[in-house]
Amino acid sequence: MAIKTASINMRVKPSVRNIIDAAANLLKVDRSVFIQQAALYEAHQVIASQRDFTFDKQAFAAFEQALDAEPAVDKGMVELMNRKSPWE
């Protein structure tokens, strides 16, 4: 069974294409492979930057303290949750 592919079309200035082609040639891959690898790498970096993070010991201790702290009471939220629903 053949794997389906999806096309991504883009327009770039010839000078940009020439730089991409030069880099692709250095890696001995075609332009499409080069662009796909570069875009995939950048996508992984963006996703990781939004999902993975590290703390130094002091920051981690403050983070744990915040997690362990008793949550603040939000009077407006308490009122909202105790209010009768309009459909009741």
- Residue 28 token pair: 């001995």
Q: Is the confidence at residue 4, as pLDDT, over 90? A: no
- pLDDT for the residue 12: 96
Q: How far is CA 74 from the centre of its chain?
A: 31
- Structural domain spans, the chain: 14-81
Please give the single-letter amino acid code of residue 43.
A
- Provide the residue count of the chain: 88
Q: Is the confidence at residue 1, as pLDDT, over 80? A: no
Is the four-CA dihedral 39, 41, 46, 50 of positive or negative sign? positive
pLDDT in tens, 35-82: 999 999 999 999 988 887 789 999 999 999 999 999 999 999 999 999
- pLDDT for the residue 51: 87
Contact 17, 32 (CB under 8 A): no
- How many Cα atoms within 13 Å fall on the side-chain side of residue 38? 12
